[in-house]
Structure 1
Amino acid sequence: MLEKELREAYHFIFEEDLLQEIVKFGALKEVKAGDTIIDIGEYVKSMPLLLEGAIKILREDKEGDELLLYFLERGDTCAMTLSCCLGQTRSEIRAIAEKDTRLVMIPIEKMEEWTSRFKSWRNFVFESYHNRLSEMLDTIDTIAFLHLDERLMRYLQDKAKINKSEQIQITHQEIAYDLHTSRVVVSRLLKKLEIEGKIGLQRNSIIVHQL
């Protein structure tokens, strides 16, 4: 089962010998939606490769408020995790399953070994750094240059795409946590977006009309 899922997600990225190494040394892990996979302050001893599902990566400020940085989907890994593994430092991010997720955990010693042995692994690591950096820069641009209603709409669109459904099961408070604002503000802006015809509001769910 693991080998089949791994091939479906990564056969176009990794060569055959590397796929066999991942099957041999990787550990399959299943997490439920809402579960914390990596928490802030933990030492990271393995790196996740996503087979199925989605993960959201969050930062936390000194007051304990969270800010969503980016999402990970099948075929992705987390550059922040890579940095912590290779530098053997504590995690500066929190990784939470956006929905039920299956992933392969790669031991830190194999990450270093494969970097020298497999060109496809090196390319994957460098590309992952690049992609995650671009997403974090996009997050910074969104915070700096977009109004909160525009940020909220982009957030809802991203959530809908990640979950492959126009209907998002989420509360106003959960959105407020991710966008680092208050529930009252979120509720007001959601009502505004509904009046504009961009979304539909239901109890603990939102339908995104504009994807």
Structure 2
Amino acid sequence: MSSSLQQIFPSFSTPLIEAINQNANEQFVSAGTVIMRTGQYIKNTMLVISGKVKIYREDENGGEFFMYYLQPGQACALSMVCATKSEKSQIMAKVVEDAELISVPLSLMDKWMMEHRSWYEFVIATYRNRFEEVLEVLDSVAFRAMDERLEFYLKRQVTSCGCKDLKLSHQEIAMDLNTSREVVSRLLKKMEQRGLLKLHRNHIEVVTK
């Protein structure tokens, strides 16, 4: 685990990596597994070594609203926030690509913040980056029409995977944007007509202009 941590989290000091090796657990989780549910007490934070984890909110009717992805070299900021209190999760976390995760007990958060400067800086950077990302999502929802929200969503997906071919169904997109599949299909067709993307049977090809 040491070599993986050093490679994926190069800012971590050697003493911090040793502390993680001694106290954290390594997990290999299959795609489709829900690793955090709304209302569940959070006992650990996750460091992502490989794969991808989707973070989203769920409404009372089971609808989903996509927030962001956790990717290699990142951690769950919201679980870190819960370290100071025994709070229940307000989010859902689902593995969308087979993942290797490091589970760090929240009981060690305060201790490591004081003992390891590199952990302190990592946590603060994680808070800041996620706060900025959530603000972008909030702006998208509050100030943009659905067609603009869809374009914003697709751009985030492209940035996330570093690819132009998105293996997303119309239904998946609709769930992430909390709208209907019919609306998504109609807007995607309009985007295709504008030359912004190409619709294929099992994926969406985003066109760079």
> TM-score category by the smaller chain?
over 0.9
Give 1:38-187 correspondences, 5 Å limit: 38-187=36-185
Q: Cα distance, 1:49 vs. partner?
A: 0.6
Q: Which runs of 5+ in 1 are unaligned?
A: none
Which residue of 5, 10, 15 corresponds with 1:17? 15
Give 1:28-43 correspondences, 5 Å limit: 28-43=26-41
Q: What is the one-letter code of the residue matched to 1:168?
A: L
SS of equivalent to 1:197: coil
SS of equivalent to 2:198: strand
TM-score (norm 1): 0.93
Q: Cα distance, 1:194 vs. partner?
A: 0.8
Task: Give the fraction of aligned pairs with identical amino acids, expressed as a percent.
Answer: 37
8 Å CA contact 2:39–2:88 kept in 1: the answer is: yes
2:4 corresponds in structure 1 to 5
Q: What is the one-letter code of the residue matched to 1:169?
A: K
Q: What is the one-letter code of the residue matched to 2:109?
A: M
CA distance in 2, matches of 1:158, 1:201: 18
Q: Deviations over 1:117-136 (max 9, x none)?
A: 11111121122111111111
Deviates more, 1:87-96 or 1:146-155: 146-155
TM-score (norm 2): 0.94
Q: What is the one-letter code of the residue matched to 1:68?
A: F
Q: How many residues align?
A: 209
**4+ runs deviating over 3 angstroms:** none
1:198 corresponds in structure 2 to 196
CA distance in 2, matches of 1:106, 1:35: 19
